[in-house]
Amino acid sequence: MSEKHLIPAEECCTSYNIDIRFIHSLGELELIEITVQEEREFINESQLNELEKYIRLHYELDINMAGLEAISHLLKRVTGMQQQMAHLQSKLRLYERM
């Protein structure tokens, strides 16, 4: 992974005005991936949207870590079902054309 796509976790904490323990908790629950290089923690810039989503849910809506984990799991299931439904709809269109 290229270093230019990694953002120091401390920098995220400063920018979003959050505690580093929040990021550690997200990492422990595997909601975001924390990369450690030379004893420093980094977050891939592609995960910033996810981090921002969890920050809003936790700090603005007061959802605890277990709730964040449940929401993440349900959103992944919904996304999977939407993809499966799109796939099945395209198959159905093929059969309708026959």
Look at residue 42 and tell me whether its pLDDT is greater than 70: yes
Comparison of pLDDT for 20 and 1, the residue scoring more: 20
User: What domain count does the chain have?
Assistant: 1
pTM confidence score: 0.81
Residues of 19-38 as b/e, b for ≥16 C-beta within 10 angstroms?
Answer: eeebbebbbeeebbebbeee
Taking residues 13-19, what's their average pLDDT? 95
Residue written as tokens 């054309």? 97
Give the model's confidence band at 1: pLDDT under 50 very low, under 70 low, under 90 confident, else very high: very low
Residue 53 lies in domain: 3-97
CATH number at residue 80: 1.10.1660.10
Q: Which of 84, 83, 1, 72 lies closest to 43, judged by CA? A: 1
The whole-number average pLDDT for the span 75-84 is 97
* Confidence category of residue 3, pLDDT binned at 50, 70, 90: low
- The mean predicted confidence, pLDDT, of the chain is 93
The whole-angstrom separation of Cα 93 and Cα 98 is 9
